[in-house]
Amino acid sequence: MVKVRKGSKPPPDGWDLIEPTLDELEAKMREAELAPHEGKRKVETLWPIFKIHHQKSRYVYDLYYKRKTISKELYDYCLKQSIGDKNLI
């Protein structure tokens, strides 16, 4: 499940539509973090992590700017919760 900070207000409408994809990307991120790294350079072990991080940010970007399927409130919520990288978008 995607990390949502405690004490914050509940997610806006539409969250339940994007949550399964974000959960899947979080699972991929955990796998990439726990993958064996023997025999690899440090940067080679970080490449999959950066790829998934960019993929998650691109997903949020596409939903808001390209497909226009999520609201401004949900987009801002995703950026505030650090689900998508504000500087990368």
Structure tokens at 10: 């509940």
**How confident is the model over 11-35, as pLDDT tens digits?**
999 999 999 999 999 999 999 999 9
Question: What rounded mean pLDDT belongs to the chain?
Answer: 92
* pTM of structure: 0.88
- Give the whole-number percent of the chain exceeding pLDDT 90: 83
Q: What is the pLDDT of residue 60?
A: 97
- Amino acid (one-letter) located at 30: R
